[in-house]
Every structure is written in structure tokens, then in C-alpha cells.
């Protein structure tokens, strides 16, 4: 039996940390496979990951090659060799894979089928402007796409099943890949195909019990759901017009979740009997939701990929803490190792190490390094396509993986007592609030290309609402950024999530700092109110207190509670600068264990779930210069070096010297177990 755990993966009764790396078997000569896999084993990896690209194996419709024509396509032979090496394998059959392939792993004949193509509001084909070759984007609502996918998956099934058993190598399978409309986040770009329109009407039918219920919310007079036109830009004039547009944005989320359900349903027909997971591209905002993806039947874990720029601690801290606060297993299924051909950045081994360990420091539990082996359109990996070592990367991985396994990093865990709850609906508003959305000229957010500024399409309608118009991603909120900045400066530990976090997970925190504006779903208001009424819990709300629900009817549950009680269980906080320690329980502070006054130093304490007296202390220097810092623990400690540790310890204090962009790790044995 194989299953995900809170710290990794259980394989036939043995729990292992989920540390894996990517290799694309078909992109290396078959005679090099043995050497390449041997190098991977020698770096300390026990798990590898590979795509299984549709376009490679079904080279013409109905014609397949699994090594009969080209030996490097022998999937069965590759998996058999992995078994000889004692390697476990994660497979990712798509149908979407990207992998810098010209058609993202889809056969060209699939993409050129007009019945499969996604459509713009004007009925034209949505084109992906890829540097290698532009191609039509498939519609997630196309029945033919799923029919053809099932044919391909069934062709794979005998090969996969041969390697799924107690001595087989395959342990996990991924459903699709970065399912996000090919990075087209904006809601009015696509998909207006007839199949998508039908699914939109199905979504409305499921959401509302009757057309009269919808009419009440929309303030409309429709006779049937099919009369409702999909909006292709915001044309509202008053806030009561907003529900129609919110529903279109929600439909875009629904369409993605429906896609995952359908891919998983096809996988279930194969009767493979192994856990299924999914990787979100980079979004922690509409149209993506990690929490709702994990609510899909048979989808065990949803992670988010990460490709940081050098020293990009802000992105990593936010993404990993969001995963730690939102997912069953904080997992990055693609953590950049090397870089793709049209990216302007290639990180050094030292820069990569810093990003990896900084992420573990912030709560990362499982990771797949993408890629361990170079191939066409990708370079900067520990192993080259022809089996040579790039020693700077190779040695970094060898040393780091050895340390991670020897010291069982996966068995230690952050336990923050503060949750910052971002406002998912504000992200939806910022998505819908556009006159129109044109298909971007750049292929994704990592590529700097010419594009029409989105600011040109922001309406100039006064909806008489307090809103957030912060530039950037839909989840960027100025109030949240200010609050988290204050917490960071004082070394308070916290996680991120949003209102889709199951309510039973809220109770793990003593303090919830919830972003709120003039409107908030009634159910969310009720959940926040219930949390605030729980003993020893505290709710901080801001920058505004909601007085409307999501349908823009009066709903002021939280506002009324604040007026009735002045006991401080709900604290309205308009100005983040007014935030201070008196607003939260002292148990919620990370610096009740350790303190550090150096603003360039970030610290994190991870507790051993078996022996609470043993902790790991992570220290990150985020500055571009070497730093000296004094860290003081409460209680007598014994410090021992784990990784890049340079300093001197005495009783409960530690003085360190730490180079720029470096993570140190120390083992700390407490005289008494620290409070949870």
C-alpha cells in the first residue's frame, strides 16, 4: 500500500521523505540511462519523476511507439532499469505536460482539431504565443479531448500496471499538469466555446436551486439558465450588478476543478491503485484553489510549483507558508533546478541551495527538483544529457540531500499559532473588474515581453465600496502585506490561507488575522464569528468590517458582534501600523522561544514530533552581505551544528557569522520541552 503522509510518503509500510528529481527518459539516449540513473542514486535520491508525453508515444493518431521504433521511447525498459537501481518513480502522463515541448505534450493533431479548441469572446481560436511555435489552446470543456485522452491513457495502462506492485517502481501519478488555461488567468480571455458555455450553464444550475433564486440574486428576469450570456468584460454600473460577474469568475474555477475530476475519473478506470496528486502552476488565487482541489475525490495532494529568482525570499516565504497553511502536505512538485531556454536567469548552485533550504525553513515538506538531468531547452542541472556531472550542482545536491536525510528534516515541523487569512473574494473582484481581457503576448509570467498594460482596461465606475486595487497578482493586498511585514520584522511565525481552508483547521491557530472589506460571504462571517467566540482565540479584522454579503445584501454579523462586545475577541484594525503585541496571545509568538534583533536575519524553530526537547533552528541571512547576529533562547540549551553552522554558543545564546543568502541549521536540545 502506498499513501501520502503529513511528512512524505508511505511505501508498503515504510515512511520515506518525498525528495525526488526529474529526468525525461525520451530526451536522453537509451545507452546513457544507466549512467544517468547511477549519478542520481549517488546524489542520494531514492525517488525520481518523469513525464510520459502523449505526443512522443502517439506520433500519429492511432500509431504508437514505446521503443519499437526509437529505443529512447521504451518506457517499460526505462522503468525496469529504475527497478534494478532500486529507484521509486513518480509518473506524470498529462495530457498537458509543458516540459518546454513545442505543443506542451499534446499531439499536433489534437490541437488542430477545431472541435477541441478554446474560443475567445469573438469566436476565434485562443492561441498560445509560445516561442518555439504558436499553437491553439484546447478547451477544458471539449468532450472529444477527454475521449482521445482516455484512448491514450488506456494504451499506457499495461506498461504502468507492470510496474505497480510491491516490487514495482511506480508509487505516485499526477493528474494533468498546471491546469490553469495555459497561464491565462484573466477571466475574459477564454473560454467561450459552445462546450464551455454549456458547462457555464451547468455551473449556474448547480449553484442556484432555481432560475427564480438566480433572478433574486442578479436582480433579473430570466426564464431559463440558458438565456444567461457569459460576460466578456465588466459592464456593471452599480454594486448590485456584481454577482453576475462574480459567477463568471467562479465558473472559471469550477471549469478547472471539473477538468481535474474528469482526468482523475479516467485514471480511476485504469485501476492503478496508487495515490493521485496535482501541481498548480504558481497561483494561490483565482482561478486556482489548493484547498478545493484537495476536496476532489481521489485527489490526495495539491502542490504549487516554484521557480524563484536569485534571493527571492518574499515569493518563497509567501508560497510555502500558504502551502503549509492550506495543503495536506506542503509539496512543491516542480522546484526549479536549472532553467528553461527562454528565461533570462540561470541560478548558481549556491543560489539554488539557499532557495531550497529557505523553503524547508518556511514549512516545505515534500519536493521534486525539476530537473536533475539536462535536456533540450533546459540547462544548469547536476547531470548533463549525455551523463556527465556538473560538479557545482552535483556536489550541492549530494551534500544537501545527505544532510536532509541524516538529520530527518521532514520529521520536524513549524507550529505557528497565527494564521493570516487572505481575502479570496477580493482577488475575484480584481479579476472581474476589467472592461475586457486580451490574450497576453507573453507566454507566461516569467517571460518579459511586450504586452498591452492591463491598467488600460480598469473601469472607472464608482461602486461605492472600499476595495483593494493593489497592483500585482489577484491575491496581493496592501493591508496583508503590511501586517505580514510587521510580523516578519518582529520574528512572529505565521501561515497563510484563505476562507476555503476547512473550518476544523482554523482551530490549530490562536489568532486569525483576516483580510476583510465591505462585503463578505455570510457563511465566512459566521465561521469567523464562531472562531472569535472560542475560548482563548482572537480575531483581527481589517482594513474594513463587512456589512454586506457576497450577493450585496445587508449582512453585518461581525460588525454587530464588535458593537455588542468590547472584550477584544474581535479587533477591527484599519491601520496595520497600529498592530502591537497586546492584540495577540503571547503563546502565538515564535520569539517566546528565540529572539534576534538583526532585521536581515530570519529565524524559524521546527519541533521534533517525537521528542519535543529537540528542535531545529533555521537561520537565514536575506541580505547581500555577511551578517553577525545574536540569538537568545528562553531556557538552557545545547547547540550542535547541522548545516553551514558557524558561531559560538553559551547557555541560552548563540552568536553566529553567516554569509550572504545562506541558511544555517542548528540542532537545539532544550533542558525542558518548549511549549507547543
Cell of 320: 510555502
- At 30 the pLDDT is 98
Q: Which residues contact 211 (CB under 8 A, 6 or more apart)?
A: 222, 223, 224, 225
Share of residues in the chain with pLDDT > 90 (%) = 86
**Are domains 418-436+468-586 and 593-670 of this chain identical in fold?**
no
- At 478 the pLDDT is 96
Residue 123 has phi, psi (to 5 degrees) of: 90, 0
Residue in 120, 138, 129 with CA at minimum distance from that of residue 55: 138
| Record: fold of 593-670 | Immunoglobulin-like (2.60.40)
Whether 674 has a pLDDT exceeding 60, the answer reads: no
What are the extents of the domains in the chain? 2-117+128-188+256-408, 418-436+468-586, 593-670
**How many Å apart are CA 162 and CA 194, to the nearest integer?**
40
Cell of 111: 490541437
How does pLDDT run across 179-203, given as a tens digit for each residue? 999 999 999 999 999 999 999 999 9
Radius of gyration in angstroms for the set of CA atoms belonging to the chain, rounded to a whole number: 26
DSSP helix/strand/coil, 240: helix
**How many Å apart are CA 659 and CA 665, to the nearest integer?**
13
Least confident of 13-27, 124-138, 207-221, 592-606: 592-606
Residue in 567, 559, 541 with CA at minimum distance from that of residue 483: 541
Average pLDDT, the chain: 95
- At 401 the pLDDT is 99
How many residues are listed for the chain in this entry? Answer: 676
Please give the average per-residue pLDDT across 83-87, as a whole number: 98
- At 676 the pLDDT is 55
Could you tell me the pTM of the whole model? Answer: 0.96
CA dihedral of residues 130, 131, 132, 136 (deg, nearest 10): 20
Residue in 464, 465, 440 with CA at minimum distance from that of residue 453: 440
How does pLDDT run across 324-357, given as a tens digit for each residue? 999 999 999 999 999 999 898 999 999 999 999 9
The helix (run of H) or strand (run of E) holding residue 205 is helix 194-207
**How many Å apart are CA 570 and CA 621, to the nearest integer?**
36
**How many Å apart are CA 319 and CA 325, to the nearest integer?**
10
Cell of 28: 536522453
Least confident of 263-272, 303-312, 411-420, 646-655: 646-655
Dihedral sign for Cα atoms in the order 74, 39, 360, 315 = negative
Per-residue H/E/C for 415-473: CCCEEEEECHHHHHHHHHCCCCCCCCCCCCCCCCCCCCCHHHHCCCCCCCCCCCCCCCC
Domain 2-117+128-188+256-408 grouped into CATH 3.20.20.80:
yes
**How many Å apart are CA 84 and CA 74, to the nearest integer?**
16
Cell of 536: 482563548
How does pLDDT run across 342-399, given as a tens digit for each residue? 898 999 999 999 999 999 999 999 999 999 999 999 999 999 999 999 999 999 999 9
Whether 15 has a pLDDT exceeding 80, the answer reads: yes
Please give the average per-residue pLDDT across 34-61, as a whole number: 99
Residue 12 has phi, psi (to 5 degrees) of: 50, 50
Which CATH class, in words, describes the domain spanning 418-436+468-586? Answer: alpha beta
Residue in 43, 79, 92 with CA at minimum distance from that of residue 333: 92
Please give the average per-residue pLDDT across 601-605, as a whole number: 95
- At 591 the pLDDT is 45
Per DSSP, 674 falls in state P
Whether 36 has a pLDDT exceeding 90, the answer reads: yes
Q: Which residues contact 385 (CB under 8 A, 6 or more apart)?
A: 27, 28, 32, 373, 374, 375, 376
**How many Å apart are CA 229 and CA 431, to the nearest integer?**
18
559-587 burial by CB neighbour count: b if 16+ within 10 A, else e?
A: bebbeeeeeebbbebeebeebeeeebeee
Amino acid at each position: 500500500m502506498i499513501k501520502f503522509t503529513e511528512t512524505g510518503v508511505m511505501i508498503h509500510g515504510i515512511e520515506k521523505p518525498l525528495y525526488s528529481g526529474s529526468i525525461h527518459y525520451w530526451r536522453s539516449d537509451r545507452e546513457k540511462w544507466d549512467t544517468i540513473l547511477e549519478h542520481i542514486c549517488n546524489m542520494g535520491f531514492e525517488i525520481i519523476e518523469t513525464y510520459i508525453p502523449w505526443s512522443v508515444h502517439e506520433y500519429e493518431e492511432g500509431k504508437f511507439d514505446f521503443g519499437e521504433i526509437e529505443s529512447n521511447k521504451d518506457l517499460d525498459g526505462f522503468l525496469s532499469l529504475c527497478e534494478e537501481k532500486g529507484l521509486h518513480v513518480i509518473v506524470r502522463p498529462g495530457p498537458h505536460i509543458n516540459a518546454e515541448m513545442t505543443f506542451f505534450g499534446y499531439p499536433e493533431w489534437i490541437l488542430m482539431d477545431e472541435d477541441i479548441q478554446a474560443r475567445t469572446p469573438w469566436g476565434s481560436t485562443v492561441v498560445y504565443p509560445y516561442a518555439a511555435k504558436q499553437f491553439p489552446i484546447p478547451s477544458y470543456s471539449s468532450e472529444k479531448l477527454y475521449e482521445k485522452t482516455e484512448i491514450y491513457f488506456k494504451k499506457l495502462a499495461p506498461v504502468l500496471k507492470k510496474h505497480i506492485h510491491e516490487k514495482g517502481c511506480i508509487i505516485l501519478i499526477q493528474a494533468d499538469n498546471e491546469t490553469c488555461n495555459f497561464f491565462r488567468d484573466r477571466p475574459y480571455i477564454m473560454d467561450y466555446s459552445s462546450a464551455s458555455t454549456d458547462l457555464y450553464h451547468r455551473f449556474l444550475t448547480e449553484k442556484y436551486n432555481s432560475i427564480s433564486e438566480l433572478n433574486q440574486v442578479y436582480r433579473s428576469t430570466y426564464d431559463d439558465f440558458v438565456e444567461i450570456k457569459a460576460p466578456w468584460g465588466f459592464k456593471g454600473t452599480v454594486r448590485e450588478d456584481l454577482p453576475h460577474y462574480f459567477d463568471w469568475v467562479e465558473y472559471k474555477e469550477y471549469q478547472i476543478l471539473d477538468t481535474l475530476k474528469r482526468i482523475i475519473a479516467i485514471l480511476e478506470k485504469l485501476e492503478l491503485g496508487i495515490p493521485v496528486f496535482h501541481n498548480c502552476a504558481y497561483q494561490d488565487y483565482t482561478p486556482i484553489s489548493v484547498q478545493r482541489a484537495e476536496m476532489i475525490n481521489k485527489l490526495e495532494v495539491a502542490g504549487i510549483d516554484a521557480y524563484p529568482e536569485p534571493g527571492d525570499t518574499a515569493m518563497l516565504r509567501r508560497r510555502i507558508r500558504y502551502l503549509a497553511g492550506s495543503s495536506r502536505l506542503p509539496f512543491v512538485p516542480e522546484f526549479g533546478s536549472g532553467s528553461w531556454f527562454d528565461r533570462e536567469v540561470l541560478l548558481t548552485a549556491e543560489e539554488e541551495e539557499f532557495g531550497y533550504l529557505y523553503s524547508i525553513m518556511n514549512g516545505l515538506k515534500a519536493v521534486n527538483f525539476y530537473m536533475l538531468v539536462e535536456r533540450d531547452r533546459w540547462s544548469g542541472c547536476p547531470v548533463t544529457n549525455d551523463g556527465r556531472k556538473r560538479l557545482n550542482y552535483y556536489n550541492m545536491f549530494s551534500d544537501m540531500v545527505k544532510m536532509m536525510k541524516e538529520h530527518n528534516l521532514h520529521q520536524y515541523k513549524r507550529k505557528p499559532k497565527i494564521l493570516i487569512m487572505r481575502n479570496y473574494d477580493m482577488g475575484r473582484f480584481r479579476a472581474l473588474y476589467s472592461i475586457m481581457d486580451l490574450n497576453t503576448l507573453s507566454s507566461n509570467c516569467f517571460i518579459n515581453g511586450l504586452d498591452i498594460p492591463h491598467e488600460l482596461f480598469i473601469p472607472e465606475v464608482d461602486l461605492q465600496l472600499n476595495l483593494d486595487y493593489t497592483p500585482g497578482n489577484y491575491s496581493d493586498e496592501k493591508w496583508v502585506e503590511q501586517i505580514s511585514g510587521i510580523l516578519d520584522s518582529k520574528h512572529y511565525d505565521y501561515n497563510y490561507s484563505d476562507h476555503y481552508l476547512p473550518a476544523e483547521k482554523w482551530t490549530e491557530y490562536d489568532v486569525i488575522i483576516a483580510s476583510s472589506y465591505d462585503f463578505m460571504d455570510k457563511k465566512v462571517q459566521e465561521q469567523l464569528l464562531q472562531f472569535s467566540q472560542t475560548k482563548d482565540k482572537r480575531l483581527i479584522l481589517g482594513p474594513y468590517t463587512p456589512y454586506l454579503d457576497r450577493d450585496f445584501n445587508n449582512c453585518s454579523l461581525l460588525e454587530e458582534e464588535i458593537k455588542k462586545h468590547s472584550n477584544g475577541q474581535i479587533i477591527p484594525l484599519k491601520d496595520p501600523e497600529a498592530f502591537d503585541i497586546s492584540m495577540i496571545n503571547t503563546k502565538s509568538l515564535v520569539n517566546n522561544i528565540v529572539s534576534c534583533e538583526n532585521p536581515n536575519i530570519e529565524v524559524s524553530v521546527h519541533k521534533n514530533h517525537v521528542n519535543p526537547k529537540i528542535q531545529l533552528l533555521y537561520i537565514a541571512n536575506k541580505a547581500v552581505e555577511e551578517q553577525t547576529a545574536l540569538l537568545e533562547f528562553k531556557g538552557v540549551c545545547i547547540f550542535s551544528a547541522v548545516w553551514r553552522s558557524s558561531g559560538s554558543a553559551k547557555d541560552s545564546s548563540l552568536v553566529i557569522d553567516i554569509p550572504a543568502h545562506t541558511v544555517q541549521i542548528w540542532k537545539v536540545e532544550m533542558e525542558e520541552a518548549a511549549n507547543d
